[in-house]
Chains A and B, each alone.
Chain A
């Protein structure tokens, strides 16, 4: 009979692997929608756009995606190489991540909030 710790360990492995597996499988087969991940809304006065916005490929989203994937992979590799403690992330990397997300949010705020604000003030 395995010890309770070994039992708990394998239980955790099975449940976590199952959860990650299901989510990745659903991402891969399109059950979890990833359409328009890199697309944002921008104000467009073209009368064809009923709500006054059109869709465009957002550089802010692309760079945010790349930085996120890079930091996540870096962190995961550090843990896999030395799983005895949480790895220390360089402050520069955290600053880059924060800057990247700030850029994404700034772009989004500019696209969605500045136009209506200008209309309101006019």
Chain B
């Protein structure tokens, strides 16, 4: 079995959903609510385990991110670096806004512009590199 972690995640998820469905009490003892809770917690456990698997694989080197900022010609790429920074910043901001407001936030055009500039810079940089003779630095 190649993806034993995947199987373990699914088994743990089903187990967690079963435990919640069987033993966790709901305030009004409504069976429908119990099923909803079991599915909700089951999905949350599954997403967490999948995320954890990816993180563990990155940390152990099974998923190699050493070339995350590197270009074909060698050396780190500024266009990749700035895209990484802005992705982190917008991702973290999105998470903070969602947990503070408990709803999907309205995304202002400035954020889209920011990400657009960042991603376009990366795209154009790749285009320049592809159009040149040498496999230069990004």
Q: A12-B99, A94-B117 are in contact. Are A35 and B75 (CB under 8 A)?
A: yes
Pick the contact of A113: B68, B73, B128 (CB < 8 A).
B128
In the complex, the answer to whether A33 meets B132 with C-beta atoms within 8 Å is no
State the CA gap A36–B24 with chains docked (Å): 56
B-side contacts of A11, CB under 8 Å: 44, 47-48, 51
By the criterion CB–CB under 8 Å, are A105 and B125 in contact? yes
A80 CB-CB contact with B under 8 Å: yes
Q: Which single member of B81, B84, B85, B134 contacts A112 (CB below 8 Å)?
A: B134
Residue B3 lies at the interface, judged by CB distance under 8 Å to chain A: no
B30 partner residues in chain A, CB cutoff 8 A:
none
In the bound complex, do residue A32 and residue B66 qualify as a contact, i.e. CB atoms below 8 Å apart?
A: yes
Q: C-beta contact mask, B100-138 vs A, less than 8 Å → 1, else 0?
A: 111001111011011001101100110011011110110
Known: A36-B75, A72-B86. 12 other contacts (CB 8 A): A4-B40, A32-B66, A39-B75, A41-B137, A65-B82, A68-B82, A79-B93, A80-B96, A83-B99, A84-B97, A86-B111, A105-B125
